[in-house]
Structure formats: C-alpha cells, structure tokens
Structure 1
Amino acid sequence: MSDDSLWFAQTGFAALADIAFACVLGASIIGNWLRGEQAFAAVSPARFGWRRARRGAIAATIVLLLCNFASLWLQSMAMSGALLLEAGASMWLVATGTHAGIGWSVALAGSALLLMASASASASASASALATSRSGFAIAAVLIVAAGKSAIGHAADAGAFSAAEAVQALHLLATGVWGGIVIAGAVVLPALDTSMARASLIRIAVRVSRTATIALVLVIATGGFNAWRGMGGSPAVLDASAWGHALLVKLALIAAALACGALNRWSALPRLQRSESTIDAQTLINVMRVEAGLMAGVFVAAAVLSHSVPGAASG
C-alpha cells in the first residue's frame, strides 16, 4: 500500500468512525427521549421510532468498534512500515508504546464498552433503575472514546492530559451531539411521520432543535480554539496550505448546515406545530436530511484536517 493510499485509508476510517460515534450519541439521545414518552410500550404509536433509534445505536456502535480497530491496524502499518497483512504483528507494540497507539486503544476499549451498553438496552427498556444504570455506563464509555480520540490528532502535540486534549475531547462530544441528533433524527423522525405519532414527532423535533443549539455553542467555542491553534494565530495560512483549504471547506459545510437548522427551527417547525399536517412534517424531515448530509461532510472534512499538517507548521 502506497503512502497516499494509506493516508486515504486512515482518513476514510477516521471519518467513518466520527460519523458512527455521532450516530451512537444521536440515536441514544433520541431513544432516551422516546423512552421517556413510553414509546417502548407495544401500544405506543411511536414504538417504531423508538425501535429504529435503538437498532441504529447498536449498528453505529458496531461500525465504530470496527473502524477503531481498523484505524489501530493502519496506525501499526504506518509506524512499522509493514505490509497490510503483516501489520498485526506490531499492533501490540504500537498500541502500548506510542501515544497515538494508546489513543486508538483507549478509543477501541471505549467502543467495546459502548457496544455492551447499547446491546443491553434491548433487554428491559421499561425498567427505570436498569435504564439509569445503563445510561451511566454508556456515558462513561462515551467519555472514554472521546478521551482516546482526542489523544490521536494534533491536540496530542501539546502533550498527554493537556488543555488542548481536553478542549478537543469537548469538541468531539459537542460535534458528536450536534451532528448525531441531526443524522439520527433524519433516520428516526420518518418513523414517527404518522397521524397517530405526529405529537411525538413534534416534541422530538423541538428537543432536537434545542439540543443542537446548545451543542453548537460548544462547537463554536472549542472549534474556534482549535482552528486558531492550528493557524498559529495567522489567518494567512488558510489560503497558503492544504490544511487551511480543508478548514475553509469545513466552515462552509457548517454554515450550510446552520442555514438548514435555522430554516427548520424558525420556519418549518413552527408551521408544523400550528398545522400538524403531513406536508409540513415532510418538509421538516427533508430539510433535516439535507442537514444530515452536510454534517456527514463536516466529519469528513474534520478527518482530513486531523490527518493533514496544520497550517502553522506547514510554512
């Protein structure tokens, strides 16, 4: 495998892992909201949406686990210089003896714990005590994944347990929540698009909008810190480096996603709340689907950034 193909493979798996992580967060959050509405009950008109959210969380966690394993394998290949099928022999050494390897190992372990938490959700979704215990376990697993992933990218240059890594972990969580509830919402909300479940669809859409707004504040704050750090305080690198070009693409995608979110929050959702009509529900869902596609693009751009030389260092 050439250096270019290895870079593309690493970037691709990193992007897919970020999207999967976001989907786990989004599907789990929406699933918990629907659980609070007793959507797990056999007679609930929102049961189909709750089941789709639960299954989506499990599927996304499996993808996350496989992507983190593949990324660790590719990292071993890059560091050892071994061929693809031979890189496994050096995986343990890379996973325990390098900062990036340890980061991938932590993310992989967190993914495994998150899969256990997601899979166990199907056992007794209506038991409040068990649901609370599972939620705590899942939150711990999510924090472990975020901590591991923050130790892999450019934030690790500042050292282990640095402020840069803490900010990056918070950025990953905030971006994951924002992108996750949008992507998961684009999948789950169509399952609530019936006259009987319309009230649940409206309530979930309102909560998606409010939560996305809160997460967005954290995304802007932490993302601004990361961007300024990557630029070395000089905006000139935006036009003079591939890293800067990728950042501009990411910002453009974020701006487009914000426009979609604003359209739903200030236009489509108020109309749906007034009319409760199928046409307005489908308008909201379609706009959310476009926003979900843009958010997937944001995660791809973020992966390109994390696997590119920062603008401040490229000059």
Structure 2
Amino acid sequence: MSIDGLWIGQVAMAALMNVAFGFAVGSALLGAWLAPDARQSVSPARPGWIRAHRSMLAAAIVLVLADFGWLLYQSASMSGVALPAAFSVIPTVLTQTHVGFGWSVAFGGALVLLGTALSNGTGMLRNALLWLAVLAIAGGKASLGHAADAGVASAALGMQTLHVLATSVWGGLAVAAGLAVLPALGASTARGMLIRTATQLSNVSLVAVALVLLSGVFNAVRGSGGSLEAIQASTWGHVLTLKFVLVALALVLGGLNRFSALPRLRRTASTMDAHTFVNVLYLEALVMIGVFVVAAALSHSVPAFAA
C-alpha cells in the first residue's frame, strides 16, 4: 500500500460514500417513523418529516456522485494511469473485474435509492424498493473490500455486508437525527413527537450496535489472522485501533442518552432535557462521521495478516 494522491482520493470518495449512505438510511428510517403524523399540514411532526425527506434526497445525490468518483480513482489505481486517462479504463474495470461487479450492484442500488427519494409516495412498493436498494448498496459496498477475496458465497462477505448495514443504521440515525431531523422538532408542541422518535431511535440503535460489535469482532479477527502482534505492528492495526476508540466514544455518548438523558426527558418533557438529548446526539453524530471516515481508510489498507 502506497499513500499517494490516488489512495487519498479513493479514501476520500469511500468516506463520502459511507457518510452519504448512512445519512440516507437514517433519514429514511426517521421519515418512515414521522410519516403517519406528518400527513396533516399543521402537524408538529411535519417539519421533521420534511427535513428527513430532503436529507434523504441530498444524501442519495451525493452517494451517486461519490460512487462514480470512487470508480474513477479505483480505475486509475488498478490500471496505473493518470486520473484523466482513467475514463477509458472504466469499461474494462466494470466488465472484467470483481470490483466492477460489486460497484455495479452498489451503484444500481444507489440509483434506485435516488429514485425513491425523488418520489413523495409512501406506498408499499416504494418502501420495498427503498429497502431492497439499501441491501444492494450494503452488499455491493462490502464486495469492494477485502471480504470479497474469500468469494461471493462466503461468511466473510456476509459478515461484512451485515457490518456495513448495521453501521449505516446506527451511524446514519445519529447523523440524520442529530444534524437535521430532531432539531426541527424543538418546539414545545412537538415534544411528544420528539420523545417518541428519540425512543424509537434509541431502541433501533441498540440492536444495530449489537450487530456492529458482533460483525466487527469477526472482521477484526479475520483481518489480523487472530494475532494481536499483527494489529500492533501494522498500519491496518493502527487504523483499526483508531476506529475502535471512536466507536467506544460513540457508545459512551449513546449510553448517556439512553440511560440518562432520555429517561429524564420522558419524566419531565422539559425544554432543557430535550436540548440535552439533542446536543449529546449531535456529538455522537460527529463521532460517527469520524467512524465512517476511518472505516474508509481501513478498507483501503492492507490487512494485518497480509502485511
């Protein structure tokens, strides 16, 4: 692994893909939770639902653009040509490499996700397409990393897909809720909606965290070959350690909200406690963005067992 302009570009595009995908997933979930009460034009849930819908649309657009940018950098890296010349290599990468196949699946899912974001409908078909697109993106993104080396029908690829999906749910909910949706529910008339949405967010995040930790431990053991020394002596191991520290910090912030701020908010429904919950969630969102960025660097580093 050589850290040059192409590697930095790949990691930057991959990080943008991670953040955009998480933002879209989190916004989709929040929008679905708020939709039943947001159909009335004067509902206190409507501002949050509008934020969720607009956030999902913006994130889907960024995801499509970042996907194409990553493919361009990857084509240049695989072929050894300069970035402008990589355009001519893209058809070969798409048709003759497993990277091209995985990217096509993820990009196709991103286009479907964008199509559902452009739709204002809430029907069963639209929702089914949306979550099928999310699964396709998660599977395609997983196959762009080291897990694909074990084969398409492998436990490694399955666990990486689960890890991508669970991380996007946990981090995406934190980012979308903390940066966009919950601040729109700050009015006292929306306090009940805020409490209900915060409770749903906390419960779903708890399940997602459990899946993240399970799949993360599997990936760490596989990537290190079961050797603690390999983690300590490799760049991959150092990046993994940084990711672990950020995840631990996010867990602490999430725990503060779940076990302290949220119960207090349920009891008092006060403005101060509502602000406390949203502010802690905002900090968790910033940390999760860091996790997404470090995860991109990790996926583009040589695993410890190979290094």
* Superposition TM-score, scaled by structure 2 size: 0.97
Map 1:118-157 to 2 at 5 A: 118-120=117-119, 122=120, 124-125=121-122, 131-157=123-149
Give the equivalent residue in structure 1 for 2:56.
57
SS at match of 2:290: helix
Is 1:235 the counterpart of 2:232? The answer is no
1:178 — aligned with what?
Answer: 170
Aligned to 1:21: 21
Partner AA of 2:82 in structure 1: L
Q: How far is the alpha carbon of 1:260 from its aligned partner?
A: 0.3
Amino acid at match of 1:163: A
Secondary structure of 1:233 counterpart: coil
| Structure 2 residue 96 is matched with structure 1 residue 97 | yes
Q: Is the 8 A contact 1:181 1:208 kept in 2?
A: yes
Report the alpha carbon displacement of residue 3 of structure 1 after superposing the two structures with TM: 5.9
For residue 111 of structure 1, what is the aligned residue in structure 2? Answer: 110
**What's 1:168 paired with?**
160
Q: Distance in 2 between matches of 1:245 and 1:8?
A: 17
The letter for the 1-side match of 2:101 is I
CA distance in 1, matches of 2:247, 2:267: 29
Q: Which residue identity is paired with 2:306? A: A
Q: Which residue of 2 aligns with 1:268?
A: 261
**Counterpart contact for 1:71–1:104, Cα < 8 Å:** no
Structure 2 unmatched runs, 5+: none
Q: Determine the C-alpha separation between the residues in 2 that align with 1:304 and 1:75.
A: 14
Matches of 1:18 and 1:181, distance apart in 2: 13
Aligned to 2:5: 5
Q: Which has the higher contact order (CA 8 A, sep 6+)?
A: 2
Distance 1:226 1:235 in 2: 14
CA-to-aligned-CA distance 1:217-271 (integer Å, 9 cap, x gap): 1111111100000010111122101110111100000000000001001111111
Q: Give the whole-Å Cα distance in 1 for the aligned partners of 2:265 and 2:89.
A: 56
What is the aligned partner in structure 2 of residue 128 from structure 1? none
Distance 2:258 2:168 in 1: 20
SS at match of 1:251: helix
Count how many residue pairs are aligned between Structure 1 and Structure 2.
305
Q: Comparing 103-112 with 287-296, which one deviates more in the overlay?
A: 103-112
Supply the distance in 2 between the matched residues of 1:194 and 1:177 (Cα, whole angstroms): 26
For the residue of structure 2 that corresponds to 1:198, the secondary structure is helix
Contact 1:40 1:50 in 2 (8 A): no
2:304 partner amino acid: G
CA distance in 2, matches of 1:112, 1:256: 34
Q: How much does 1:104 deviate?
A: 1.4
Amino acid at match of 1:105: S
Per-residue CA deviation, residues 57-89 of structure 1 (Å, 9 max, x unaligned), is 010011111111111111111112222122111
User: Which residue identity is paired with 2:215?
Assistant: T
Deviation string 1:182-219 (CA, Å, 9 cap, x unpaired) is 11110200000101101000000001000000011111
Paired residues of 1:232 and 1:312 also in contact (CA < 8 A)? yes
Residue identity matched to 2:175:
I
Question: Which 5+ residue runs of structure 1 have no aligned equivalent?
Answer: 126-130
Match of 1:76 in 2: 75
Q: Is the 8 A contact 1:75 1:101 kept in 2?
A: no
Q: Retained in 2: the 8 A contact 1:40–1:51?
A: no
Aligned identity (percent) is 50
Structure 2 counterpart of 1:301, one-letter code: V
1:195 maps to what in 2?
188
Q: SS state of the match for residue 310, structure 1?
A: coil
